[in-house]
């Protein structure tokens, strides 16, 4: 059993592409992509759910790890890409957060929602033509 | 002092870049913030926990722990952080699992022949 595993491992390590795909250099960043994907999906959602603190922390975190991924040997471009995307998504969320809470975005959205509901109510109560 | 050159040699062997002027130093420190946030979540009610998020923490934590030991320079502090992150993920998943098991027991779908010892 052990020799079968050793033989399989030797086969994997001898082939550069297979060796890469069967390594943490690949699966680390692949599993890490969950964070940027979640962040990008969140850019389409209500700004109320954005956590200002977490977004600020992730902006710093992804910047540092963008640098770290290129400072180690072997350089991990996949991890760099993952944190690059996350940095962009977190900055977008930070913009949406600041716009929502400090530049009148929330007030504007609430006003629009009120006018939309008012129009709907008028339509509902209007006599059928 | 006789121990100083030995200590310096040991430090050099482990990671010459591990000083506050490099990213190898700051990366693990930043990641502890995530672990601390995760530990804070231990006090949140079980119903509000996300299985996928904690499974992701467990998976990424374990994978990164291994990765930190095969890169150059090896980063033991970062490996330790990721190990704890995997620990946080598994504790949370354990809490969720126990909660669901308890719900099943109460619903009567699991025949509870013996009383649960941890109750």
Task: Select the more confidently predicted residue: B4 or A34.
Answer: A34
DSSP string, A47-79: GGG--HHHHHHHHHHHHHHHHHHHHSBS--HHH
| pLDDT digits (tens), chain A, 129 positions | 899 999 999 988 899 899 999 999 999 999 999 889 988 998 999 888 888 888 888 999 999 999 999 999 999 999 999 999 999 999 999 999 999 999 998 999 999 999 999 999 999 988 776
Q: Taking every pair of C-alpha atoms in chain B, what is the biggest distance, in angstroms?
A: 70
Q: How would you class A59 by CB atoms within 10 Å of its CB: exposed for 0-12, middle for 13-18, buried for 19 or more?
A: middle
Contact of A59 with A94, CB cutoff 8 Å: yes
Distance CA B43, CA A129 (A): 58
Contact of A58 with A91, CB cutoff 8 Å: no
- Residues 19..78 of A with a Cβ closer than 8 Å to B: which? 23-25, 27-28, 31-32, 34, 54, 57, 60-61, 64-65, 67-68, 71-74, 76
Distance CA A64, CA B73 (A): 17
- Is residue B2 less than 8 Å (CB to CB) from chain A? no
Average pLDDT of span B51-56: 87
Q: Does the pLDDT of residue B109 top 80, yes or no?
A: no
Residue of B46, B33, B20 lying closest to B84 (CA atoms): B33
What distances in angstroms separate CA A34 from CA A28, B18, B59, B118, one per listed residue?
11, 29, 11, 35
| Lowest mean pLDDT segment, chosen from A100-109, B12-21, B44-53 | B12-21
Task: Select the more confidently predicted residue: A78 or B56.
Answer: A78
pLDDT at A50: 87
Q: Does the pLDDT of residue B6 top 80, yes or no?
A: no
For testing the chain A interface, which of B18, B41, B60 should be mutated: the one with the most A CBs within 10 Å?
B60
pLDDT at A119: 93
Distance CA A93, CA A75 (A): 28
What percentage of residues in chain B have a pLDDT greater than 70? Answer: 77
pLDDT at A49: 84
Q: Which of A28, A60, A64 sits opposite B67 (nearest CB)?
A: A28
Helices B51-68 and A24-32 pack at an angle, to 10 degrees, of: 150
pLDDT at B111: 55
Instruction: At B72, give phi and psi (nearest 5°).
Output: -120, 125
Distance CA A72, CA B71 (A): 6
pLDDT at A114: 93
Q: Does the pLDDT of residue B10 top 80, yes or no?
A: no
pLDDT at B116: 53
Average pLDDT of span B105-119: 64
Distance CA B55, CA B61 (A): 10
Average pLDDT of span B59-69: 94
- Model-level pTM? 0.78
């Amino acid at each position: 059993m052990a020799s079968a595993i050793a033989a399989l491992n030797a086969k994997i390590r001898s082939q550069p592409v297979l060796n890469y795909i069967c390594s943490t250099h690949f699966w680390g960043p692949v599993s890490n992509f969950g964070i940027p994907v979640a962040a990008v999906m969140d850019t389409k959602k209500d700004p109320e759910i954005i956590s200002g603190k977490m977004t600020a922390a992730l902006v710093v975190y992804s910047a540092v790890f963008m640098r770290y991924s290129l400072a180690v040997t072997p350089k991990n471009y996949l991890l760099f890409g993952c944190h690059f995307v996350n940095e962009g998504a977190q900055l977008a969320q930070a913009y949406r957060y600041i716009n929502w809470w400090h530049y009148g975005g929330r007030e504007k959205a609430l006003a629009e929602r009120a006018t939309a509901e008012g129009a709907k109510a008028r339509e509902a109560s209007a006599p059928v033509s | 002092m006789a121990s100083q050159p030995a200590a310096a040699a040991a430090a050099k062997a482990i990671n010459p870049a591990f000083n506050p002027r490099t990213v190898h130093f700051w990366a693990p420190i930043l990641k502890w913030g995530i672990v601390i946030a995760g530990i804070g979540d231990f006090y949140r009610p079980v119903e509000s926990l996300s299985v996928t998020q904690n499974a992701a923490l467990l998976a990424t934590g374990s994978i990164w722990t291994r990765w930190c030991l095969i890169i150059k320079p090896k980063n033991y502090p970062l490996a330790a952080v990721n190990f704890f992150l995997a620990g946080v993920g598994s504790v949370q998943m354990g809490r969720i699992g126990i909660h669901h098991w308890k719900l099943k027991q109460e619903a009567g779908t699991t025949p509870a022949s013996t009383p649960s010892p941890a109750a």
